[in-house]
Amino acid sequence: MTPRIHPDTIEEVQQRVDIVDVISEHIVLRKRGKDFLGLCPFHNEKTPSFSVSQDKQLYYCFGCGAGGNTYKFLMEIGKQSFAEVVLDLARRYQVEIKTVEPEQSQEIQRQLTLKEQLYEIMAVACSFFKHALHQSQGEIALNYLRQQRNIEQSTLDNFQLGYAPAGWETLYRYLVEQKRYPVNLVEQAGLIKPRKTGSGYYDVFRDRLIIPIADLQGRVIGFGSRSLRDEDQPKYLNSPETPLFDKSKTLFALDKARSSISKADCAVVVEGYFDAIALHEAGIENVVASLGTAFTQSQLKQLLRFTPSKQVILNFDADNAGNKATARAIREVEDLVYGGVVQLRILNLPNGKDADEFIKSREDGVVIYYQALENAPLWLDWLIERLLADKNLKAADEFQRVAAGMIELLNKLQDINQRNHYLTYCAELLSLGDARLVLQNLATLKSQIKSTYHQRERSPRKSQKSPGKPTFAIATNPESELLEQAEALLLRIYLHYPNYRDKIIEQLEAKDLLFHFTAHRFLWQQIITIEEEISNFLPSSLKGDSYIRHPSSLNPLLSELHNRSLDFPEAMVKVTKLFHLDEKTQEDVFRADIRVAEAIASLEQVNYQKRQIYCTEQLQNLNPNTDLKLMEYYYQEIQTAVEKIRQLEQIRLAYSQDPLVGNQ
């Protein structure tokens, strides 16, 4: 459970920390007047616009609008929670930690002291293994890395690869007898085990390649290892769980991959240490590896902190074991996957090769691997392909098994648009290219998911919103809360940013868009009426948009709307909040180009969703025997709507997922 840190501790840490010192560890700052200036770490820029005030202990970027104090900076740059940041700084600046529950303070302080000692022991062990790799006893291991794995020295150094000597007590004697670390702490670090006889200890890692596993801050918390002898089992061996290391919550190389994941807006997960190492060496650095266990929700959530659009690609081995591991990984995270929280894709490389083998098997291996990542199918497409593998759909029993498997997958989808898309896709696959069978199979599939779907829709369920900045995602009900936000945004920008009024009107008229909510429709009608009245009263020399919509003039539109609030109190009370700007809405106005485009795409997407729903309802009421032409018409309309929705979704996400679009 995360401790509730006492406000006194938070305040004392903030007083001791110098924001310039903290930020200087991440970017280069140069003195500019009384403040400091550097390149913003939150968006790409060539001209410094990131300002740090030592007096105010605040930072602000004039390019992207990011700003805050030391806590906010470290939370954003390290993707850490508030409590994690405070505890790290308290340890660094030697501030005594107090909690709201006093009994927790002593335990937290004890745990922090223990962890500091364990970090030190692990760092010393890592250095020991690195040194051993380049001694005569490590020659076989070093040759394996250089000759069989073709790993360069710079990569050996970057990943701190090492060798555990073959002796039973070599590391034990070094750490306990020579370095004088308490034997109980070395045991807690997972480096030694007590003998069953009760007389002494033995090393966990013996005659093995050593791969250090680090936390997000780059501190060694555990070790992976590979046997150098075929007869040794297990081939791969990890550290046991310790106060520092939990393999179900850890991803290998995430400390090195985190910035590349953010830049690429995508994380790649491979099975093995050497797959990750080889890809990093080849310049593909947004890669992490699981640690021999099933890919867990905890590991996935760690990755999602670094990819704004939640793009994750699983690149496990393409053999039978790898396919089972992939299917198991999807099951482990299916709540997040089926709920649309993560955009998961699956990459199986040809000929059953792993990533390391693939990129080294041909000169253009890296280029082809990049292309394979780009073309990796979505998780549901991959599962459907697995259903179809080696199946003869002309055989009734196999057809039935495949169709039943499809129904099971489709019933788990929570988004109606995604479900409709895959209903059509599955119907086409089952029809084996016979267009006459598509509608029949579509109707059959729909009939089998209908009861489950309606039961789910009737069941009350709390809405689940993904963390982070709200976006104009379109819910199953087109008149959703977030659609209301999109309409409110257009109206707010129209009221407060006259330069954008022409653009908003042009977009609404060109795409035949209307406001869906009654209060917004009422406000829009008042806006049109007021602008017509103002235009009629102006002298001819001032008529036209140049007066009403010029930002430097007074805002007669907004002034008159305030007056009309007295005439229509019940109707206007629902929209008067749009007449004012706070910090958040000022940012929306500041990014008017992006936000208008995003909101227009949301409104347009709703139109196509309504069209899709209408055509789907009509299609379900038709008889294939008598209404075939009409069914074909609605089928084509649904296909058109689905494609338009997909295109608009991509446009909308391109704006909404990255707050820095247009400012890079």
Whether 192 and 110 map to the same domain: the answer is yes
Which of 426, 458, 490 is the last residue before a domain boundary?
458
CATH code of the domain covering residue 336? 3.40.1360.10
What is the pLDDT averaged over residues 289-296? 81
Q: Report the alpha-carbon distance of residue 158 to residue 312 in Å, rounded.
A: 24
Considering only CA atoms, which of 53, 59, 62 is closest in space to residue 31?
53
Across residues 164-188, what is the average pLDDT?
A: 93
Looking at the whole model, is its pTM more than 0.75? no
Confidence band, pLDDT 50/70/90 cuts, at residue 333:
confident
pLDDT band at 546 (very low <50, low <70, confident <90, very high): very low
Q: Which of 498-507, 540-549, 593-602 has the lowest mean pLDDT?
A: 540-549
| Same domain? 134 vs 228 | yes
Same domain, 453 and 359: no
Exposure of 392 by Cβ count < 10 A (0-12 exposed, 13-18 middle, 19+ buried)? Answer: exposed
Same domain, 232 and 276: no
Q: What angle do CA 32, 660, 338 make, to 5 degrees?
A: 145
The pLDDT of residue 524 is above 60: yes
Which residue, of 458, 479, 495, is where some domain finishes? Answer: 458
The percent of the chain in helix, strand and coil, each rounded to the nearest 5, is 55, 10, 35
Q: What is the mean pLDDT of residues 619-640?
A: 79
- Quote the pLDDT of residue 250: 92
Residue 662: pLDDT above 50? no
Please indicate, yes or no, if residue 2 is contained in any of the structural domains: no
User: Is the confidence at residue 537, as pLDDT, over 80?
Assistant: no
CATH number at residue 130: 3.90.980.10
Question: 182 with 150, same domain?
Answer: yes
Whether 480 and 609 share a structural domain: yes
Distance separating alpha carbons of residues 204 and 241, to the nearest angstrom:
13
Same domain flag for 216 and 194 = yes
Q: Which is more confidently placed, 461 or 372?
A: 372
Lowest mean pLDDT segment, chosen from 6-15, 112-121, 250-259, 270-279: 6-15
566: confidence class by pLDDT, cuts 50, 70, 90: low
The residue that leads in pLDDT, 578 or 124, is 124
Q: What is the pLDDT of residues 222-259, one digit of tens each?
A: 999 999 887 777 888 999 999 899 998 899 999 999 88
104-113, 115-124, 417-426, 551-560: segment of lowest average pLDDT: 551-560
Residues 555 and 627 placed together within one structural domain of the fold? yes
> What pLDDT score was predicted for residue 101?
65
Across residues 174-187, what is the average pLDDT? 92
Cis-peptide, bond into residue 234, ω within 30° of zero: yes
Regarding whether 655 and 589 lie in a shared domain, the answer is yes
417 and 335 in a common domain:
no
Q: 59-113: per-residue pLDDT in tens?
A: 888 888 788 888 888 888 887 777 888 888 888 777 777 776 666 656 666 666 7
Residue 580 has pLDDT above 80, yes or no: no
pLDDT surpassing 50 at residue 661: no
What CATH code is carried by the domain that includes residue 58? 3.90.580.10
Point out the domain boundary residue: 408, 432, 458: 458
Report whether 436 contacts 568 (CB < 8 A).
Answer: no
Q: How many domains does the chain have?
A: 5
pLDDT digits (tens, 9 = 90+) for 257-275: 988 888 888 999 998 899 9
d(CA 384, CA 409): 8
- The confidence score (pLDDT) of residue 534 equals 65
Question: Could you tell me if residue 523 is inside a domain?
Answer: yes
Could you tell me if residue 311 is inside a domain?
yes
Confidence at residue 116, expressed as pLDDT on a 0 to 100 scale: 81
Q: Are residues 90 and 187 in the same domain?
A: no
Q: What local confidence, expressed as pLDDT, does residue 620 receive?
A: 73
**What pLDDT score was predicted for residue 25?**
79
Average of per-residue pLDDT values in the chain: 81
Measure CA of the first residue to CA of the last residue in the chain; give whole Å. Answer: 39
Residue 616 in contact with residue 526, Cβ under 8 Å?
A: no
Confidence grade of residue 151 (pLDDT, cut at 50, 70, 90) = very high
- Tell me the mean pLDDT in the region 619-648: 80
Enclosing domain of residue 570: 470-664
Query: In degrees rounded to 5, what are phi and psi of residue 38?
Result: -160, 180
Please tell me what DSSP assigns to residue 25. T
In degrees and rounded to multiples of 5, residue 219 shows phi and psi of -85, 135
Q: Which residues contact 461 (CB under 8 A, 6 or more apart)?
A: none
Q: How far apart are CA 126 and CA 315, in angstroms?
A: 29
User: Residue 464 domain-assigned?
Assistant: no
490 and 546 assigned to the same domain: yes
Contacts of 34-42 with C-beta under 8 Å, sequence gap 24+, read 40/64, 40/66, 41/77, 42/66, 42/76, 42/660
Residue 60 is assigned to a structural domain of this protein: yes
Residue pair 39/28 in contact by the 8 Å Cβ criterion: yes
